[in-house]
Amino acid sequence: MKGARRLVDLLRSKQDNDKSLGQHFLINDELIAEAIELGEVTRADHVLEIGPGPGVLTEALLATGCKVTAIEIDSGAVAHLGQVFAAEINDARLMLQEGDALKLRWPADVTKVIANIPYQISSPLVDQLTKQLRSTWRECLIKVILLVQEEFAERLVMEYESDVGSLGMTALIDWQSDIKVNVAPHHFSPNPKVNSCFIEMIPSHESFPVDKRLIKQIIHQGFKQRRKKLRTSLKSIPKRLNRIPDWYSGRWKSAYSSLLGDIRLDARPEELDFDDWVTLAHDFTKFAKCDTKGSQ
């Protein structure tokens, strides 16, 4: 194996670091090995890697004998990866795709996602992972290991009371998340200005008596004005409400009006735990649909 430092230097010899892509490459081989261990990667796995860059994690994944699909947006890095891993690509052990991981179609048989992602796509990537889990990956995905900014990780797992928000609450609909390993800036090249950590996300496959999309929209709506009581924030209709079957503005208004006497609406969003949000969403669905949709 070439090792992390050499792979980073090889890419650097071909092109400068692109700051706009959030390129901070992990150069500690022990931490890379720890990511593989956290992922419990075996030969039977098909691993999706997002943003492989110089290929430091790609090399370690391939060494386990697993199949890897790597998606990279940087054309220079794609060319570099194509040269370094030519044999693995030829053997179909590595499928290398160039493009935006948030827009490309992902393989249907992925068992694990392990990646050092560009930090600016953390939230939309979790959304994409969730959509994929609910559809294509329902039966195959086992776990996700991501290297992310520490602040994002703390909000995802709601490490502290101040971290409670829509990100962590909506993630609980589909995932059990945990911070596994802290990573200091000096383990990267170039050094980021923030601390990082590996997070683990395990699909919960929990079912609810209400559409998961409605739970998510009510949580988002509640936290939009987190300093205000739910009586105020939930009065407004979510912009994407009509994406949920049988939901439209008239029905939302009817449900909200029917709950005006509910003491929960006098709470602020951080005062509700996850089960409270699920129950509130369920109570929204108890009220009859409007006869017409003219009030959309």
Domain extents in the chain: 4-203, 212-285
Q: What is the DSSP letter of 248?
A: -
How close are the terminal C-alpha atoms of the chain, in Å? 60
Q: How far apart are CA 117 and CA 115, in angstroms?
A: 6
pLDDT tens per residue, the chain (296 residues)? Answer: 889 999 999 998 998 877 677 788 999 999 999 999 999 999 999 999 999 999 999 999 999 999 999 999 999 999 999 999 999 999 999 999 999 999 999 999 999 999 999 999 999 999 999 999 999 999 999 999 999 999 999 999 999 999 999 999 999 999 999 999 999 999 999 899 999 999 999 999 999 999 999 999 999 999 999 899 999 999 999 999 999 999 999 999 999 999 999 999 999 999 999 999 999 999 999 874 544 444 44
pLDDT of residue 273: 97
Asked if residue 269 has a cis previous peptide bond (ω within 30° of 0), the answer is: no
Q: How far apart are CA 233 and CA 223, in angstroms?
A: 8
- Residue 49 contacts residue 58 (beta carbons within 8 Å): yes
- State pTM to two decimals: 0.93
Q: What is the CATH number of domain 212-285?
A: 1.10.8
Q: What is the CATH number of domain 4-203?
A: 3.40.50.150
Q: What angle do CA 89, 72, 134 make, to 5 degrees?
A: 95
pLDDT of residue 16: 80
Tokens 């009509």: give the residue. 242
CA distances from 218 to 29, 131, 177, 196, 246 (A): 43, 18, 21, 30, 15
